Amino acid sequence: MRKMPLNQIAFGKTDAFNELNTFGQEYFMESFVANPKYHIDDFLSGSRFFVCGKKGTGKSALLKYLECHFLKDESNLVFPIRFKSEIEQVDKDSFEEIASAPDNSTKNEKYDTSSILDQSSYVLVWKTFLINQIITRASAGEYRVFNETSTDYKLIVSLLKCIYGESKTSSVVMPKIKKGSIELTAAFAENLSASLKLELEFDSQKKRINYTKLSKKVYQIFSQLEFVHSPVYVLIDELELSVRNKYQFEKDVALVRDLIIAIDDMNTLCSNKGMQIHTIAAIRSEVLRNVRSTGYELTKPIEDRGIEINWFQKGGDYKENQLLTIIENKIHASEQMSGFPPSKDVWKEYFGEDINGEETRKYILNNSLYRPREPRDIIRMMSAIHNQIGTSEKFTQEAFDKAQQEYSELMWTEIKDELRLSYSEDEVNAIFTLLNRITMPFTYEILSQRIAQLGKFYPRMPELLNSERLTQMLNKLYELGIIGNTGKPMNFVFLGRTALDLLGRMVIHTPLRNYFSVQYER
């Protein structure tokens, strides 16, 4: 049987969006691993709509899988929204200006922030945004979502134009609010009935209308629209928090918090009204943790209507780990894409029996973070190894050994992004300096002594990593799978243990040891 050359294997991309664009829908769908924990049928039926998990767990991949599935039916209106890359560029960067910039026509008059910064107003902004997205995109294509001849439909279109203007751009989130109102053109003002003007507190002299009342009216009318035929699926990804500064971070927490509330409200309304309109969102665990810390109770909608992606396998045969299935599926999809017959056993066909004396599949799992962020790490590892194959017919120990440094560096680069959610750039650099060329195993006392010694060369080290911060930092590194306790039994987060033993001997997890050039006790 013909065997596919190693250089024709595509292990995909660490980002689902890039993978789909690079290799196409067929490869993506064939190589996707439908983890039983995903409860995909619940997302297809609309009973679940929140995908939660740590960075790299496969939230975006699940969203893209759902998108491809929904797009199979041409009558479905399906569109993704990327919170970080789309909304941030258009609206979040100018949010502060919208909230506080002086009015060009009246010197020193500022936009009123009360209706923007109020939590309920954020929810209204998101609901109005989602409604505008649905109606704008539906009218731009051959979809029959609502009865467009009804009075309610014509009125809601008119009101949305009051908020967003005549622009066909569907990405605008924040309208310009001044003194809690939106300024209308004379043409729009004339089209509003006298009773509606009264209800919405229309200022006939300044041609302004109360934004909050207008948004509430939009939502009310939306609930009354007659759903016709075309199901709608809105897929929101990249719900992340800015790490640029504390103000932007806190603002993002509020934005994400209220978007979650708005999605829950919208889905509940649509379900109760018999509208086949579903909004599905992927949310990082760290984002949820920070959102919950603001005091708003989001546990019920998240737990009742969502899943948390977790690839940890406790017990059973490691050879049946779903993470290994990702590699198998990628190879089978590559064989199909290149016209080769599918291998019965990809491990025998493409891999040596062992790496450094350890069975290959076990070695792969043990040299990854072996925890919920795993799918991205598996792809990153195999891609790094793929770069080292040369003319080899199988993935050998030599290729694995050569890839270790590259893989270790790429892993730390991504971990740094997670650390920046909790620590300043100086603190992240101090963490690297502390661990660089450290001798393993080490203890809390050894780290404290090392901080004092490094303080001779880096004067801020004792300040950045004082006793309290060191404790917090070690717990954070444990949570991210970077460190754990050695001994019997070992204590790592990927083994299902919940807490680091600060009194025990600690080690850096295997895949990061190359990057930190760790030393060993003799």
Residue-wise pLDDT for 188-200, tens only, equals 777 778 888 778 8
pLDDT for position 91: 53
Q: Of 156-165, 191-200, 465-474, 513-522, where does mean pLDDT reach its minimum?
A: 191-200
pLDDT band at 456 (very low <50, low <70, confident <90, very high): very high
The arithmetic mean of pLDDT across residues 18-41, rounded, is 85
Task: At 390, list the tokens.
Answer: 């040369």
319-335 burial string, b = 16+ CB within 10 Å, else e?
A: eebebbebbbbbbbbbb
178 pLDDT above the threshold of 50: yes
Per-residue pLDDT tens over the stretch 481-514: 899 999 988 898 877 788 999 999 999 998 899 8
Estimate the share of the chain in helix, then strand, then coil, as percent rounded to the nearest 5.
Answer: 55, 10, 35
70 pLDDT above the threshold of 60: yes
| 28 close to 20: Cβ distance less than 8 angstroms | yes
pLDDT band at 121 (very low <50, low <70, confident <90, very high): low
Residue 3 one-letter amino acid: K
Which of 125, 21, 83 has the alpha carbon at shortest distance from 280? 83
Among 129-138, 172-181, 188-197, top mean pLDDT goes to 129-138
The arithmetic mean of pLDDT across residues 428-439, rounded, is 96
pLDDT for position 459: 94
Cα–Cα distance for residue pair 365/317, rounded to 1 Å: 12
239 pLDDT above the threshold of 50: yes
Mean pLDDT, rounded, of the chain? 82
pLDDT band at 100 (very low <50, low <70, confident <90, very high): very low
pLDDT for position 510: 87
Q: Looking only at Cα atoms, what is the longest distance across the chain?
A: 87
Which of 176, 171, 177, 175 has the alpha carbon at shortest distance from 87? 171
Residue that wins the pLDDT comparison between 181 and 470 = 470
Task: At 478, list the tokens.
Answer: 């444990």
SS3 485: strand
173 pLDDT above the threshold of 80: no
| 84 close to 90: Cβ distance less than 8 angstroms | no
For residue 231, CA distances in Å to 24, 54, 261 come to: 24, 30, 22
Cα–Cα distance for residue pair 205/189, rounded to 1 Å: 11
Cα–Cα distance for residue pair 367/377, rounded to 1 Å: 10
pLDDT for position 344: 92
242 pLDDT above the threshold of 70: no
Q: Of 178-182, 396-400, 474-478, where does mean pLDDT reach its minimum?
A: 178-182
Measured CA angle at 93 (ends 91, 94), to 5 deg: 65
130 pLDDT above the threshold of 50: yes
pLDDT for position 297: 65
pLDDT for position 508: 95
163 pLDDT above the threshold of 90: no
60 pLDDT above the threshold of 60: yes
pLDDT for position 148: 93
Q: Of 152-161, 242-251, 330-339, where does mean pLDDT reach its minimum?
A: 242-251
Cα–Cα distance for residue pair 151/203, rounded to 1 Å: 24
176 pLDDT above the threshold of 70: no
419 pLDDT above the threshold of 50: yes
* Terminal Cα-to-Cα distance of the chain (whole angstroms): 50
The arithmetic mean of pLDDT across residues 139-152, rounded, is 91
pLDDT for position 276: 96
| 373 close to 35: Cβ distance less than 8 angstroms | no
Per-residue pLDDT tens over the stretch 338-393: 999 999 999 999 998 988 889 999 888 877 765 434 567 788 888 888 888 877 88
Q: Of 103-112, 121-130, 327-336, 449-458, where does mean pLDDT reach its minimum?
A: 103-112
Q: What proportion of the chain, given as a percentage, has pLDDT over 70?
A: 84
Measured CA angle at 455 (ends 452, 456), to 5 deg: 110
Task: At 488, list the tokens.
Answer: 């019997």
pLDDT for position 267: 95
Among 23-27, 161-165, 300-304, top mean pLDDT goes to 23-27
The arithmetic mean of pLDDT across residues 271-295, rounded, is 84
pLDDT for position 374: 54
261 pLDDT above the threshold of 60: yes
